[in-house]
Structure 1
């Protein structure tokens, strides 16, 4: 997640304790991001895991590298939102239930779900192990970038009316910071709470409001469903 100018849009994260909720979602045919929302559940996008058997997916937590360090845990249940629409990306959300409960610590800690949206123009930090440019070059370390939340009108106008009430936009007004396609599922945090999960529209360096700037799942509208899934085990 960065601009089209290599990693100048974002910066490397030095310690897993900075973003202890960060998750790499991995498997034979998938490499996405996610957020640890309790010690046994991860939130990611439906497009990351839809139609995959749980045995094909595992997560890595507590590391600034997606391929080593921290803990790797198997997934036993994949719950995709029942109203997920793969043509519009509405309700593009899924909950992964892990095989075991993770040990809490400085580098492994869930992030609370936002129950309301951040004010328009607020900064949010997005983190990802995904590509750093349009050529899909993967970084060695977790990347972070601060994006600004756009108004619903800005978001809707830039997307030609494709934004539903369960989506929100965030980016950098200068276009210097952005997400890329491989950042699917990247968490957006504001004041210590999960406010968004990157869903669609990455432009790899054109994050100002435009037809390609990133769109996130609006977590405040999905909190009830996520909590219901987690309460089942």
Structure 2
């Protein structure tokens, strides 16, 4: 497979150590992403794992390739948010518990959870192994792209009133950089903290401030729940 540019409009990551919290979530019928938030827990979307038994899911960490390198972690529990609504993507978030703690290293390091949102217009970095265009071409290596956060009003207007207070919109004002299919769970980071997990709404390269802008879970609104799940094992 030839190396492709993008999430859509992105670039290859130079090494796994640039984004040591990056996780690929793998199973027989799933291709998603997630973020390592401590050495035994991964945050992803509920839509990624809601229909799967924990034994059907593994994660790969410490690699800039989806199918090779790094370490495997075996999932023992899928904790889906109790308010998850698959029809509206409300509370579309889940925490995966791993059988064993992962070893710390240059390419394996959790990302702290954001307790507040970036200011409107801030530039965050999204990373993913998902498709690079509407034809579902997959990249050889992990991709990164810079997305700008939009205001809650913009977000609501773009999405026809379907955005809740626990969602965050971000995109590229030029309409080039965007999330694509198989990007579910892709982490959005700002100043070294996890601010979002990609949930719904993008269309591969149309993510200017318009109805195609991708929508992320606002991690700041889920921090308490995530910490509770982690403390309970």
Structure 1-normalised TM-score? 0.97
The corresponding residue for 1:214 is 214
Q: CA deviation at 1:181?
A: 2.1
Written as runs of structure 1 = structure 2, the 5 A alignment for 1:2-151 is 7=6, 9-151=9-151
Q: CA deviation at 1:211?
A: 1.8
Deviations along 1:125-163, one digit per CA (max 9) or x if unpaired, are 000000000011110000000000000011000000000
| Contact 1:127 1:143 (8 Å CA) reproduced | yes
The corresponding residue for 2:198 is 198
Aligned residues: 229
Q: Distance in 1 between matches of 2:122 and 2:5?
A: 25
Q: Distance in 2 between matches of 1:49 and 1:202?
A: 20
Q: Distance in 1 between matches of 2:211 and 2:151?
A: 15
> What is the aligned-residue RMSD (CA, Å)?
1.0
Structure 2-normalised TM-score? 0.97
Structure 2, unpaired ranges of 5+: none
Query: Aligned with 2:119: secondary structure?
Result: coil
Deviations along 1:53-100, one digit per CA (max 9) or x if unpaired, are 001000000000010100011100000000000000010000000010
